[in-house]
Amino acid sequence: MLNVNRLRILRELSRRGTLAEVARALNYTPSAVSQQLSALEREVGTTLLEPSGRRVRLTGPAMLLAERADLILEQMELAEADLQNLAGTTSGLIRVGSFQSALIELAPAALTLLSQRHPHLVVELCHREVDEARDGLLAHDFDIVLGEEFPGGEQPPTAGVHRQDFHSEPLHLALPESERVGDRAGSTTLSDLRHCGWALDLQQSRMGAWARQKCRGAGFEPRVVCESPDPLLMLQLVRSGHAAAFIPALITQARFGGVEVVALASEPHRTLYTEVRAGRQESGAIAAVQQAFADAIAAHTSAVPTAVLALEPPS
């Protein structure tokens, strides 16, 4: 009989490539990971790993077994979801990994809805960047990931993960009122703002990568005066006249006086989605949390842009 936990370790090795990365993701020591894989080799009666420099690589049988492990683990998730649903109550612990703007604007309303609808359901929130949160999802640290996707940064499907989109929203530009785009005569383009300082998300983040690409597409390298994942800090810098910033519509209702919210003529949007391990999408508790976040954003209102900024070149 194959050990399911060892199959999960093998699958993680096929994804991550090194024993050290698997150990970090699953909270094991590298020697414990190696011991579990050696035990799996004895169970299947064939070699699963072979040396490759300082690393190891999966043999043909190991790659086949890792593919089958995805199906086995998905069926186990389905079985657990079915048993929970048969109980007839939505309860238990659901751990959510999410990026910051979703936590700021959506989490409080979603938690209020869940406390009213499902008082026996406990939800824990953790601030994580999307890719880190997905790693935690596959390692069973989280049950749901709230993710975001930007124009030109579409993500390929991840094996063992079920994705569900739940919202699309425009990306706006926040400017100090001193810029007064709406009062200018003639067409104003993004390239006209090359002189501005910019408050941008982290370079390695999806929002940060998109924002830099947008500026470079307009013909300039942004002069970054603040690099932060905190959109409220960005708005403070805009309000005080020190920076311009790209802000999702989800955040623009939190704008302060002294900020002009500007629509971009190319109408870029970001997509918000949830991810769960394949099979868990059938869980009533998972569905309840997903629905609460969807309802929270449906009730959300954002500031209406006061002007439209043309892009150069359009995208």
pLDDT tens per residue, range 202-246: 998 889 999 999 999 999 999 999 999 888 899 899 989 999 999
For the ranges 56-65, 68-77, 84-93, 223-232, the maximum mean pLDDT occurs at 223-232
User: pLDDT band at residue 152, thresholds of 50, 70 and 90?
Assistant: confident
Domains and their CATH numbers in the chain: 4-83 (1.10.10.10), 89-167+270-298 (3.40.190.10), 171-268+303-309 (3.40.190.10)
Instruction: Note the pLDDT of residue 109.
Output: 93
Q: Write out the chain in H/E/C secondary structure.
A: CCCHHHHHHHHHHHHHCCHHHHHHHHCCCHHHHHHHHHHHHHHHCCCCEEEECCEEEECHHHHHHHHHHHHHHHHHHHHHHHHHHHCCCCCEEEEEEECHHHHHHCHHHHHHHHHHHCCCEEEEEEECCHHHHHHHHHCCCCCEEEEEECCCCCCCCCCCEEEEEEEEEEEEEEEECCCCHHHCCCCCEHHHHCCCEEEECCCCCHHHHHHHHHHHHCCCCCEEEEECCCHHHHHHHHHCCCCEEEEEHHHHCCCCCCEEEEEECCCCEEEEEEEEECCHHHCHHHHHHHHHHHHHHHCCCCCCCCEEEECCCCC
Instruction: Note the pLDDT of residue 111.
Output: 95
| Percent of the chain with pLDDT strictly greater than 70 | 90
Q: Which of the pair, 314 or 251, is modelled with greater confidence?
A: 251
Give the global pTM.
Answer: 0.79
